Structure 1
Amino acid sequence: METKLIDVLQPIKANDFLLPEGKSLQELTTMMLQRIGSVHPVLRDDLIHSIFTAFIERGHYNNEQLRNILQSVLNKNYLFYRIGMSKKEEDAVFKRSFSVLLIPPIMKKHREKPFLKEEEIHRVWDNLKKYMQQESDHRGYVQGKGWAHAMAHAADALDSVAACDEITSEEVKQMLPIIRTQFLIDQPYLFDEEERMVTAILTMFKKIEPNEQLEWIETLLYERESWDNPNEDIIINNCKHLLRALYFRMLEGNNRQLRQVLEDLLKELRKQEAY
């Protein structure tokens, strides 16, 4: 089945993402959705993801088709597939992470020419919030299976939805603590997840007041509970990387106060280091 789908999709990509004559777009879409979480990295990433993105960006789908794809990936069989049930390092994460990665191109089309109702945008945000609260597989690149990168993909989705006019300051303020919780964990982020998330954070910051930005940043300082638990060093490292990523992005623009706070937090964090 997967080999046959690769044989169908490779010529489409090679031919500048043109749909072959006589090929049903709906049938192809269904086939790609069914295999969106394949552990075959070429099929999942190089072909299905690339073709979906190109088809969306080039207007192959009408508004109703885009809405249907969005509704599909937000359900329990995609974005929430086996979430909270799957064992550590189970392959279910690929389906979740590549489902969430379909959200950005659809949101981009909406921002260019709105077609989703306001309540639909809020529903996407609510689902992303639930997903962020529940995702526990933080692997980046998986040998032999390619990118899982769930938190980086979630960051891209958050950035794309937060940029929509419909998202409110209150919704942003509810999401920011969840991001903190996801990054101050005892599993190391090794593949620039913090950089992707900082892009989303800065988009969200546009929706809230400077004092609210400051209050949230100050919550990022992690204070060690034990000097004997090496897992705490992983948390501190994740904290350090997120703060540094924020700091260097703040070098652009008039962000002197936030930069100073980040500098102070990084200095304070050194006191938590075990060396």
Structure 2
Amino acid sequence: MRRALPLSLCLLATPLFAAPCPPAGYDAAALRELKAQRFALPASAAKPALAQALLACLSDPDPELRDGIAFEALSQWLRAGDFDPTTLRSLRESLYATLDGADADGFARPFAALALSEIARTDRIAPWMRADERAAMVERAAAYLESVRDYRGYDPRDGWRHGVAHGADWLLQLSLNPALEPAQQQRLIAAIATQAVPASGHAYVFGEPERLARPLLAAAPHAQWPAERWQAWVAALAAKVGALDRSDYAGWLGRRHDLRAFLLQVHWLAGRSEDAQIRALGAAVEEALKRLD
């Protein structure tokens, strides 16, 4: 593998926008070789700097570099527990900066959210965040999902963008965390409602309803909502479809399609649970599906 001098740990403080992709010391062929070696490095101490450098590739227009190498490497290392809290915080803050930045091609923010789902998972598996950091991530994740307006999914040339699904994956890892408080779970549930039925009438075709249903079902047992609250939540969701409007017939059909797809996913998942909260949610969804038909 072609390498320059080892990446310095000072890269941990390098702003993401200034980093190249491929990172210094690598080209695309070297990164492919790294993947072929299952992202193993001769010196494990080099992983934090390389992980930080690979964040730039999460916005690269080449899907092989972005998804097949950069994200896969980060996911593998994060799931293996290769990074200490200092490195995890550094990666998290760089990814937050990406969320706050421009995204001309529509790749950077969705893949930052997907990488942040892996950061959130590390805290779920072995807690390292302070309570205030976790609360801030809950708000960040909810705000990101609510902000998505680019509904592109898969493109044969460009690969995935999938902003809603990646945001839902981030919410899923948070909603599964037992350290979250009921109010935080409720915040995630509120964010899910904003994208279950997009106001624009965009019709989901890349599995978004299922991805949104998963964090809802994970959050529901801990939200501490009575059955009446679930009924109101589902009713408000159904109201987003609106009355049939011939001047916006395509938008109305898209919203109805999305509502039905989401409710069917929730109904199927809820029917397999014995949890009282999930059963209450499932009952509210079943009634909404009857009215929709």
Deviations 1:118-155 (A, max 9, x none): 10001111111221222211111023110111111111
TM, length-normalised to structure 1: 0.86
**Match for 1:194: what amino acid?**
P
**Match for 1:223: what amino acid?**
G
- Decide whether aligned partners of structure 1 residues 252 and 153 sit closer, same or farther in structure 2, where only a CA change above 3 A counts: same
Distance 1:23 1:109 in 2: 19
8 Å contact from structure 2 (residues 242, 252) kept in 1: no
How many residues align structurally?
261
1:105 partnered with 2:118: yes
Q: Which residue of 2 aligns with 1:10?
A: 32
Distance 1:200 1:10 in 2: 33
1:118 partnered with 2:131: yes
Partner secondary structure for residue 167 of structure 1: coil
| Percent identical | 22
What are structure 1's unaligned runs of at least 5 residues?
A: 271-275
Displacement after TM superposition at 1:21 (Å): 4.6
Partner secondary structure for residue 67 of structure 2: helix
Distance 1:58 1:94 in 2: 25
**Match for 1:201: what amino acid?**
L
User: Map of 1:24-43 to 2, 5 A cutoff?
Assistant: 24-43=46-65
Higher mean C-alpha displacement, 257-266 vs 196-205: 257-266
1:196 partnered with 2:196: no
What are structure 2's unaligned runs of at least 5 residues?
A: 1-19
Displacement after TM superposition at 1:19 (Å): 1.2
8 Å contact from structure 1 (residues 184, 238) kept in 2: yes
> Which of 89, 94, 111 is the matching residue for 1:72?
94
Bigger helix share? 2
Partner secondary structure for residue 211 of structure 2: helix
8 Å contact from structure 1 (residues 159, 200) kept in 2: yes
- Decide whether aligned partners of structure 1 residues 258 and 24 sit closer, same or farther in structure 2, where only a CA change above 3 A counts: closer
Q: Which residue of 1 aligns with 2:70?
A: 48
Partner secondary structure for residue 59 of structure 1: coil
Deviations 1:72-110 (A, max 9, x none): 1112xx12332xxx6xxx51x211011111122222222
User: Map of 1:220-231 to 2, 5 A cutoff?
Assistant: 220-221=237-238, 222-229=241-248, 230-231=250-251
TM, length-normalised to structure 2: 0.82
